[in-house]
């Protein structure tokens, strides 16, 4: 009898686990028109997921969020975003939404790791822009970013972030200029735009989700050691002079479970000869699936960065992409045209363990 009861308990627990992680296993549909329907079915609000999320996140979201208004005209609590961030208590444990009014905010914003559960929110039809001209020569590469996020459970929605430094000339050192560095864990970006040249987005470390975003740059404009899923993201290369590369993912061995998965993305731009990624480190992992790749991409598609020994360790995968730049015929020999089984882990929210933390984008009347 005890054995039978134990078996029943085990089966029941397994069923509960399956229910709790169902949104982690549902594959992203091949039909792009079904994306939003799929997303709503698999990323549900807190009210239907109690007991499934990380406990500290569930606690943070259990009460209506505190809203801090930033308005350049003085009608909010603060005129700058940085002032609003400074007002948040160290060790904050509740969701705080910084509601940012329209306009260009010329400032460098940093949210350190002592201030989790922060959301930056703008109106989707009148998005605020955060702009700064930091570069590596003055701040170091990773601290040159206009927006630096080191805290966990960060969310941004309807925000433009730009680095206004001039385009690097390829000769002068220290011209890397980041728009965003995201170093916190379990963070999401909805309908955001990241503008820069070299190193636009430092997807540094942690689980991250990007949906309906736009990223613009020249060289390595998505780089770092993050484990991230990019859904319906436009990658726009400003080419026509010098080296142009989209990704420089920094995985250094197969023991590291990091990488970037771009699903239903569009690769656009100026010029041609752009690489989807290069082997900046020993074992980068980048996947493009169901994506539209224009002629801006070179026929080889990817670069081993003049390290032929890395041909054996890189994971550069493609799956059912379309467009002139997606033709597999001229691809470099180390590029993998993935099978259904090989691509499956990268086509589900489980890649970023989303069932534990990912919530729908906030909605707020700014």
Alpha carbons 122 and 158: distance in angstroms, whole number: 5
- Give domain status of residue 156, yes or no: yes
User: Sign (positive/negative) of CA torsion 245, 249, 253, 258?
Assistant: negative
Rounded Cα–Cα distance for residues 178 and 162 (Å): 8
Reported as a single tens digit per residue, the pLDDT across 133-144 is 999 999 999 999
Going by pLDDT thresholds of 50, 70 and 90, the confidence category of residue 353 is: very high
Q: What is the mean pLDDT of the chain?
A: 94
Average pLDDT, stretch 119-134? 98
Structure tokens at 322: 């379309």
Please give the Cα distance from 188 to 345 (Å, whole number): 19
Looking at residues 333-344, what average pLDDT do you find?
Answer: 98
Q: In this structure, how many other beta carbons lie within 10 angstroms of the beta carbon of residue 108?
A: 19
Q: How much of the chain, in percent, has pLDDT values that exceed 90?
A: 91
Mean pLDDT of all residues in 96-101? 98
Percent of the chain at pLDDT above 70?
93
- Residue 322, classed as helix, strand or coil, is strand
Kindly state whether residue 274 falls inside one of the protein's structural domains: yes
Nearest Cα to Cα of residue 236 among 218, 211, 212: 218
Q: Is 140 left (phi over 0), alpha (psi -120 to 50) or beta?
A: left
pLDDT tens per residue, range 252-273: 999 999 999 999 999 999 999 9
Half-sphere exposure of 1 (CA within 13 A, CB side): 0
The CATH number of the domain holding residue 235 is: 2.160.20.10
* Domain interval for residue 287: 2-49+127-356
- Please state the pTM of the whole predicted model: 0.93
Distance CA 124, CA 315 (A): 36
Give the Cβ contact number of residue 175 at 10 Å: 19
Are 247 and 286 within 8 A, CB to CB?
Answer: yes
DSSP secondary structure letter of residue 186: S
Q: Looking at 54-58, 126-130, 166-170, which range is the least confident one? A: 166-170
Nearest one of 45, 91, 86 to 68, comparing CA atoms? 86
**Once rounded to an integer, what is the mean pLDDT over residues 297-320?**
98
Q: Is the pLDDT of residue 3 over 70?
A: no
Check: CB of residue 126 under 8 Å from CB of residue 162.
Answer: no
pLDDT value of residue 23: 73
User: What is the number of structural domains in the chain?
Assistant: 1
DSSP-derived secondary structure letter, 123: B
> Which residues share a beta bridge with 96?
66, 118
Q: Does 18 score more than 60 pLDDT?
A: no
> How is residue 48 written in tokens?
């239907």
Residue 335 within any structural domain of the chain: yes
Residue 43: which of 345, 364, 352, 365 has the closest Cα?
A: 352
Kindly report, residue by residue over 152-184, the tens digit of the pLDDT: 999 999 999 999 999 999 889 999 999 999 999
143 an active-site residue?
Answer: no
Residue 70 lies in a domain: no
Question: 220, 240, 304, 340: which is the annotated catalytic residue?
Answer: 220
Give me the pLDDT at residue 251, please. 98
Q: Is residue 76 part of a domain?
A: no
Is position 96 within any domain?
Answer: no
Q: Which of 5-9, 212-216, 286-290 has the lowest mean pLDDT?
A: 5-9
What span, in angstroms and rounded, lies between the C-alpha atoms of 333 and 300? 9
Identify the CA nearest to 300 among candidates 321, 267, 323, 276: 276
Q: Tell me if residue 360 falls in helix, strand or coil.
A: coil
The pLDDT of residue 280 is 96
Q: What is the pLDDT of residue 364?
A: 86
The answer to whether residue 266 sits within a structural domain is: yes
Confidence at residue 241, expressed as pLDDT on a 0 to 100 scale: 82
* Alpha-carbon span 265 to 245, nearest angstrom: 16
Average pLDDT over residues 24-34: 97
Taking the C-alpha atoms of residue 13 and residue 252, their distance in angstroms, rounded to an integer, is 37
Residue 2 has pLDDT above 50, yes or no: no
d(Cα 107, Cα 162) in Å, to the nearest integer?
10
């Amino acid at each position: 009898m005890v054995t039978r009861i134990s078996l029943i308990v085990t089966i029941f627990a397994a069923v509960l686990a399956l229910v709790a992680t169902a949104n982690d296993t549902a594959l992203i549909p091949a039909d792009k028109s079904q994306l939003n329907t799929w997303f709503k079915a698999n990323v549900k609000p807190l009210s239907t997921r109690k007991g499934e999320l990380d406990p500290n996140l569930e606690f943070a979201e259990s009460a209506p969020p505190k809203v801090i208004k930033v308005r350049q005209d003085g009608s909010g609590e603060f005129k700058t975003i940085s002032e609003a961030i400074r007002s948040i208590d160290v060790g904050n444990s509740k969701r705080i939404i910084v509601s940012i009014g329209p306009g260009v905010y010329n400032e460098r914003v940093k949210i350190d790791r002592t201030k989790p559960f922060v959301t930056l929110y703008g109106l989707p039809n009148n998005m605020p822009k955060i702009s700064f001209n930091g570069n590596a020569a003055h701040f170091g590469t990773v601290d040159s970013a206009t927006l630096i996020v080191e805290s966990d459970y960060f969310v941004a929605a309807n925000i433009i972030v730009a680095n206004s430094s001039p385009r690097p000339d390829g000769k002068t050192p220290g011209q890397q200029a980041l728009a965003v560095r995201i170093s916190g864990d379990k963070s999401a970006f909805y309908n955001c735009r990241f503008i820069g040249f070299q190193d636009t987005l430092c997807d540094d470390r942690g689980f991250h989700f990007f949906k309906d975003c736009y990223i613009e740059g020249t060289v390595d404009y998505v780089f770092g050691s993050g484990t991230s899923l990019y859904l319906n993201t436009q990658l726009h290369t400003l080419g026509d002079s010098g080296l142009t590369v989209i990704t420089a993912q920094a995985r250094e061995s197969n023991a590291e479970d990091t990488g970037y998965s771009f699903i239903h993305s569009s690769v656009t731009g100026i010029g041609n000869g752009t690489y989807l990624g290069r082997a900046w480190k020993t074992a980068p992992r980048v996947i493009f699936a169901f994506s539209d790749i224009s002629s801006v991409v070179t026929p080889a598609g990817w670069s081993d960065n003049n390290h032929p020994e890395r041909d054996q360790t890189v994971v550069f995968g493609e799956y059912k992409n379309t467009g002139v730049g997606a033709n597999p015929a001229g691809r470099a020999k180390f590029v993998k045209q993935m099978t259904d089984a090989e691509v499956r882990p990268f086509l589900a929210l489980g890649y970023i363990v989303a069932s534990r933390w990912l919530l729908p984008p906030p909605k707020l009347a700014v």
